Amino acid sequence: MAERIFGHIPNIIEGDVFENRIELSHNKVHRPTQAGISGSQKEGADSIVLSGGYEDDQDLGDIIIYTGHGGRDLNTKKQVTHQILSDKNLALAINCQNGLPVRVIRGANHKSIFSPEFGYRYDGLYNVVNYWKIKGKAGYDVWLFRLEKAETSIHKFEVKEDSPNYLKATRTTTTQQRIDRDYNLTIRIKEIYDFRCQVCNTKIFTNAGFYAEAAHIKPLGEPHNGPDTLDNLLCLCPNHHVMFDYGGFAIDEDFSLIDLDGKLNIKPEHEINREFVRYHREHFTI
Ligand SMILES: [Zn+2]
């Protein structure tokens, strides 16, 4: 089975429309041809297709309340047992826990004003920001997932003044801001450390499994422009991630900790670039 890809698929852009589920699958945007959620409870969910709809679904465009999978009678579509946090539902919870985005595809038969006229449209990346269970209308537990658009489209309008009283729009262009973060690397760094914080060795347990954060040493984006590479990543608990990002501690040349006791735990397969550690020390500590 091919490797699961989190994030955008190369050469596929938001707004691309596919004729059917087969075409969607061939282009790797959503691989299963039947299932609505592509994912596993070990790795997380890489994509979902919105079609038809559960009664508790809400589609507000940039925010989607997505109903989990299972517990319905296949013929009547009515809820007949509890949904449980396992399988595809747990996959979405894993996304939330690990900061993994999910590709969202809307089908023409999805009951929403945001649905395409025909076929299936790739609508970009969403973050799973929360999940919880409710008692559904039939009295059974149903899991809900709050998805929020991970990136906003930037609309640029150019206007030309023809006369003092008349503004005419001459051209409209739309560009998308793509965050080229490699989510597969964030999985890798957590695997190397088995979800243990490199500072305090803590491993946090939640209802969706273990939790840790992938922290960039030299931050991504302007003006730092740190690279999204394994030698610029740390596996940290949330406390130490916040402390590190805001200069609560730093790391010395020999990887001993500054303003905290001890030394950074580093596995042999994880080579950290000292240049990035130096950059962090110089820019984030007072
Ligand atoms: Zn820690």
Q: Are 166 and 4 in contact (CB under 8 A)?
A: no
Q: Calculate the alpha carbon distances from 118 to 107, 115, 129, 254 in Å.
A: 7, 8, 29, 59
Collapsing DSSP to helix, strand or coil, 157 comes out as strand
Q: Are 71 and 142 in contact (CB under 8 A)?
A: yes
Q: Which residues surround ligand 1, an ion (CB under 5 A)?
A: 197, 199-200, 202, 237, 240
Task: Please give the distance, rounded to the nearest whole angstrom, from the Cα atom of residue 238 to the centre of ligand 1.
Answer: 7
Q: pLDDT higher for 172 or 62?
A: 62
Q: What is the rounded distance in angstroms from the CA atom of residue 137 to the CA atom of residue 179?
A: 39
Q: Are 230 and 185 in contact (CB under 8 A)?
A: yes
Task: Please give the distance, rounded to the nearest whole angstrom, from the Cα atom of residue 231 to the centre of ligand 1.
Answer: 19
pLDDT digits (tens, 9 = 90+) for 23-72: 999 999 999 999 999 999 999 999 999 987 677 788 999 999 999 988 88
pLDDT reported for residue 222: 73
Task: Please give the distance, rounded to the nearest whole angstrom, from the Cα atom of residue 224 to the centre of ligand 1.
Answer: 24
CATH class assigned to 17-153: mainly beta
Task: Please give the distance, rounded to the nearest whole angstrom, from the Cα atom of residue 218 to the centre of ligand 1.
Answer: 18
Contacts of 265 (CB under 8 A, 6+ apart): 193, 196, 198, 199, 201
Provide the residue type at 91 as one letter: A
Tell the burial category of 132 from Cβ atoms under 10 Å away from its Cβ (0-12, 13-18, 19+): exposed
pLDDT digits (tens, 9 = 90+) for 221-247: 777 889 999 999 999 999 999 999 888
Task: Please give the distance, rounded to the nearest whole angstrom, from the Cα atom of residue 212 to the centre of ligand 1.
Answer: 9
Task: Please give the distance, rounded to the nearest whole angstrom, from the Cα atom of residue 87 to the centre of ligand 1.
Answer: 29
Task: Please give the distance, rounded to the nearest whole angstrom, from the Cα atom of residue 196 to the centre of ligand 1.
Answer: 8
Please determine, for residue 267, whether its predicted confidence score (pLDDT) is greater than 90. yes
Q: Where are the domains of the chain?
A: 17-153, 183-284
Residue linked to tokens 């990002």: 245
User: SS3 for 8-56, per residue?
Assistant: CCCCCCCCCEECCHHHHHHCCCCCCCCCCEEEECCCEEEEEEECCCCCC
Residue linked to tokens 């038969």: 109
